[in-house]
Amino acid sequence: MLTRLISRSTTQSRWQTRFWILALLAMLLFFIGNVPDSSSGIGFVDAAHASETVAEEAVELKGAPKLKREDYPQLLGMSSRSIVWVIAQMHLYLAAFVLAVPLFVTVIEWIGVKNRDDRYDDMAHEFMKVSMTAYSLTALFGGTLAFALFLLYPDFMGYMMRVFGGQTLVYAFLFFAESAILYIYYYSWNSLRYGNKKYIHLSLGILLNVVGTTLLFIANAWATFMMAPSGVNEAGAVTGNIWEIMRGPLWNPVNLHRFVANIAFGGAVVGAYAAYKFLSAKSLELKAHYDWMGYTANFIAILAFLPLPFAGYWLMAEVYAYSQQMGITAMGGILAWLFIVQAVLIGTILLAANYYLWSGMSRCDGSERYRYLIKYIAVTLVVCFLIWVTPHTLILTAKETAALGGSHHPMLGPLGIMPAKNIAVNLMLIATFLSFQLYRRSDKEVTVAWAGLGNALLVTIYVVAIANVIFAGIYYGYFTNTVYKVGSSVMQVVSTLIVIIAGVTIDSLMFKGAKTLPSKWGQVSNRAQYALFALPIAFTWLMALMGYVRSSVKTHWHVYTVMKDNSPDNYIPAIGHAGNMMTIATISFVLIVLFIFWIASLSESRQVKPVASA
Amino acid sequence: MPTIVKVLAFSLGMALIFTGIANLLPQVEGQAPEDKEVDLGALTMDSFIALGEDIFKNKGTCTLCHNNMGRAPDILHLDMNEVSRKHLADERYKGSATDVAGYIHESMVDPGAYVVKGFGKKGSKDTESPMPAVNKAPIELTDVEMDAVTAFLQAKDGGEVTVALPSEAPAPSTKEAVPSVAATAEEAIGKFGCSACHAVLDSSAELGPSLKNIGARLSAAQIRQSIVDPNAVIAEGYPPIMPADFADRMMAKELEMMVKFLANSK
């Protein structure tokens, strides 16, 4: 089957496919020949055997190196951390994008098959086209990052290689496999388009995502090992097998958080692509196509974004469980101020997403039924946003402090603490879901007999959930002690999740077989397209901000509690400096993304054959 | 205007707004502890206690949890002599200490020996402590530093300090806080953190009155009084927040150097 597939490809794709299959086989042979044996103490050994090995070779266990400042090479007097920071950030942005796109592309492709609608298939193919250029750039930045790390942090990288051993080769092998499958998946799109062949193509998409997600999880293990090491003793000597090293306490929370966040980020970036193409389009037909594409991308981004705070809750709960000190450093210590910036960013994302949905409602006359609700949603979002950005301690001069009677405002002070912010965040998520639900209902007319009952049930769920979010936040947040405060946030999260799950379930049942009202695609305002640009900008900055927190909670350790960072950059940078770095990374990424869009568009253009002169 | 230019300008504008907000917030760097030698021969009990307080509030990171936010017992507002005796007598106590100093030391190296009700690890029913052993990574206090913290906690509420001053041999090295005598007035200003609140030397802080021309407004005697008894006269428009314990923490030489330096700042 594979041979037949290749024979139908273009000459270029034939060569590429053959090359990748050869490379894959070579890597497989290389890897099989180089898997570390159990006697090495690192690598793929079972736990029992590892323990025996450690016991026998206890004297030979080698801990993490203790570095001095002179052990860190400098490059042209520049800050090594800043160099690695920007390169790593670029690699992460691109990697997040290229791993996320195939996830929703495969789903869209499957929707196309299920609905027998070629538009979905074409859109999925176009999303992949954008991702293809990004893929090679991801590899280039990945290689540059590896060189930078080995050049600037050789001892640290030496230690990491010693700990992870053969696992790094598995990563390399999977990277080759990912490349091979990705190219086959993309270039075989048209040759495996219909009938049973389509299922082969869909299977390739699933395989691509399995390999891509495994790559993500492996890379996550390196980062979470640095935050919460496992499989090593107090001195950093390897005592466990590779599985024990990888499955640290923060691995799964980070895996889930990054997996979901990548989808939201990928959706936002392809949304920007659609917006860019919409703004550049000259014909209504093209505008309609990219309007629909932008809507789908925004749908993906917001759908993935809504559960993200809950994944964040789990991650932070695990951080606190691992080390209360680390948790407080992040949430209540030196890094606490950056959560004001986070509030601004998430507020921007939610406001932009809602604005896009409200603008999009103008596509359909059926939205008239729901438009009166927009002003209430807008007021809720703005009030909640203002509560979220209210700081706990105000930055004041002595005179202002004296005039205020302290560093907390007597009326606004209570809004600065977590219970108020938990109420605000949950209400913003519920309001956004309501916008989303209203948008989805705009072009449909319900036909089921129990519509009244369904709507009443839905309104009741909204009212009870909102009341519960406010009650739990106020009562447990202000009138009981800290233990109940934490418990109340779980109640609030569950309320929000119930709204989302119930909303999707009831609407799915109620609008099954509903009458579809006409939509005027391509006539949405240009301003709505800028909302689609605001999303990836805020997402990109937010990813950098969260990376800064994740890395900074390690304080002056390369590997927390195991290997100290004694480099000149072993301090937590101030939020202003970090913000400047984030903007450099964000703007660099925007330039690269625009380059990717341009490259993707270039393949669509064809020079007109010159007319031969007489 | 081409779409690409509009998009770039929009993106740049948004990113700059986020950067601007980040730069408006308080700018604090989290410095790693630095290795410094302590002159054990020059230690007095007062400076040893001061060292303990400094470690408690800085390198030990104790105040990260032990504050009024409810994460851990608010040690600074508890009489640790009384509390320690009470815990030693409690049937839930699992350790081997017999006196206050032993209990405090044990609670640092083996926090699970006694877990205060309501402060145990989630789900452990107060049988496990979330506190890390402070003699291990990431805090890594030395024996001398833990003794200094014990001395501080015993002394802060007027209790008897039963911890012995560290001897010369073996000469331990501690990190961060250095109670050695400052050599110059500038060093003393840095050592006692004056610039955190006052505009002095390179600082332009506004929490307290500026010291840049203090010599023109106050005499040397008034300056001395403001340092050793800051609540005697409160400068108009400023809150009474200056620590009142500089007289105990400063060496006479340091106080006089500082008074002379400030009196000449006109």
Task: Give B50: exposed, middle or buried? Use CB within 10 Å, 0-12, 13-18, 19+.
Answer: buried
Q: A330 and A460: one domain? A: no
What's the rounded mean pLDDT across residues B36-45?
A: 77
Q: Which residues pair with A445 in a beta bridge?
A: A515
Q: A513 and A544: one domain? A: no
List of chain A residues whose C-beta atoms are within 8 Å of the C-beta of residue B69: 332, 482
Of A574, A580, A586, the CB nearest to B29: A574
DSSP-derived secondary structure letter, B162: -
B30 touches chain A (CB under 8 A): yes
Domain presence at residue A402: yes
A538 touches chain B (CB under 8 A): yes
List of chain A residues whose C-beta atoms are within 8 Å of the C-beta of residue B31: 571
Alpha helices in A116-195 (DSSP H): 118-152, 154-164, 167-187
Give the residue from B10, B14, B24 with the most A CB atoms within 10 Å of its CB, the best one to mutate.
Answer: B14
Phi, psi of A125 (to 5 degrees): -65, -40
Are B261 and B185 in contact by the 8 Å Cβ rule? The answer is: yes
Q: Which residues, 6 or more positions from A380, have their beta carbon under 8 angstroms from its beta carbon?
A: A427, A428, A431
Closest residue in chain B to residue A320, using alpha carbons only: B130
- Pairwise CB contact (< 8 Å): A332 & B239: no
Name residues 228-247 of chain A within 8 A of B (Cβ): 234
The 3-state DSSP composition of chain A as helix, strand, coil percent (nearest 5) reads 75, 0, 20
Q: A252 and A398: one domain? A: no
Q: Which residue has the tokens 């270029």?
A: A12
**pLDDT, position A481:** 65
Q: Considering its fold, how many domains does chain A have in total? A: 2
Range from A32-46, B23-37, B145-159 that averages highest in pLDDT:
B145-159
Q: A204 and A91: one domain? A: yes
Closest residue in chain A to residue B136, using alpha carbons only: A561
- Pairwise CB contact (< 8 Å): B25 & A402: no
Q: A374 and A500: one domain? A: yes
Q: A225 and A373: one domain? A: no
What's the rounded mean pLDDT across residues B128-142?
A: 91
**pLDDT, position B205:** 73
Three-state DSSP class for residue A8: coil
**pLDDT, position B8:** 93
Domain presence at residue A351: no
List of chain A residues whose C-beta atoms are within 8 Å of the C-beta of residue B4: 594
A274 touches chain B (CB under 8 A): no
**pLDDT, position B264:** 86
Domain presence at residue A390: yes
**pLDDT, position A60:** 54
**pLDDT, position B202:** 77
Rounded CA gap, A36 and A31, in Å? Answer: 9
Mark A159-198 as b/e (b = at least 16 C-beta within 10 Å). Answer: bbeebbbbbebbbebbbbbbbbbbbbbbbbbebbeeeebb
Q: Which domain holds residue A547?
A: 68-339+539-603
Task: Indicate where chain B has its CATH 1.10.760 domain(s).
Answer: 40-155, 185-263
Q: Would the CA dihedral through A196, A200, A201, A206 be positive or negative?
A: positive
Q: A94 and A239: one domain? A: yes
Are B132 and A322 in contact by the 8 Å Cβ rule? The answer is: no
List of chain A residues whose C-beta atoms are within 8 Å of the C-beta of residue B18: 341, 344-345, 538, 541, 579, 582-583
Closest residue in chain A to residue B35, using alpha carbons only: A566
Residue A356 Cα to chain centre, angstroms: 20
- Pairwise CB contact (< 8 Å): A576 & B69: no
Q: Which residues, 6 or more positions from B126, have their beta carbon under 8 angstroms from its beta carbon?
A: B115, B116, B117, B118, B119, B120
Three-state DSSP class for residue B175: strand
Domain presence at residue A330: yes
Lookup: tokens for A61: 């266990």
Taking the model in full, what pTM does it have? Answer: 0.78
Are B252 and B188 in contact by the 8 Å Cβ rule? The answer is: no
Q: Which of A489, A518, A547 is the last residue of a domain?
A: A518
Closest residue in chain B to residue A399, using alpha carbons only: B237
Mean pLDDT by 10 residues, chain A (614 residues): 36 43 46 37 39 48 90 93 97 97 96 93 93 92 96 97 96 96 96 95 97 97 97 93 96 97 96 95 93 94 88 90 88 81 93 94 91 96 92 67 68 79 93 94 92 96 96 84 69 92 95 90 93 96 95 94 95 95 97 91 83 70
List of chain B residues whose C-beta atoms are within 8 Å of the C-beta of residue A594: 4, 7-8
Phi, psi of A417 (to 5 degrees): -95, 165
Domain presence at residue A412: yes
- What CATH number was assigned to the domain covering residues B40-155? 1.10.760
Domain presence at residue A523: no
Rounded CA gap, A82 and A133, in Å? Answer: 26
End-to-end CA distance of chain A: 51
Name residues 413-432 of chain A within 8 A of B (Cβ): none
- Pairwise CB contact (< 8 Å): A279 & B12: no
The 3-state DSSP composition of chain B as helix, strand, coil percent (nearest 5) reads 45, 0, 55
- What CATH number was assigned to the domain covering residues B185-263? 1.10.760
Lookup: tokens for A240: 């466990």
Domain presence at residue A284: yes
Closest residue in chain A to residue B2, using alpha carbons only: A280
Closest residue in chain B to residue A319, using alpha carbons only: B130
What percent of chain B is modeled with pLDDT above 90? 38
Higher pLDDT, B250 or A286: A286
Which of A408, A377, A466 is CA-nearest to residue A474?
A466
Q: A116 and A231: one domain? A: yes
Higher pLDDT, A349 or B256: A349
Nearest CA of chain A to the CA of B55: how many Å?
Answer: 16
**pLDDT, position A485:** 66
**pLDDT, position B171:** 44
Q: A274 and A418: one domain? A: no
B243 touches chain A (CB under 8 A): no
A570 touches chain B (CB under 8 A): yes
Rounded CA gap, B7 and A218, in Å? Answer: 35
Reported ipTM: 0.83
B120 touches chain A (CB under 8 A): no
Domain presence at residue A255: yes
Q: Which residues, 6 or more positions from A47, have their beta carbon under 8 angstroms from its beta carbon?
A: A240, A241, A243, A244
Nearest CA of chain A to the CA of B248: how many Å?
Answer: 26
Rounded CA gap, B83 and B116, in Å? Answer: 10
For β-strands A563-564 and A557-559, DSSP reports them as: antiparallel
Rounded CA gap, B93 and A168, in Å? Answer: 48
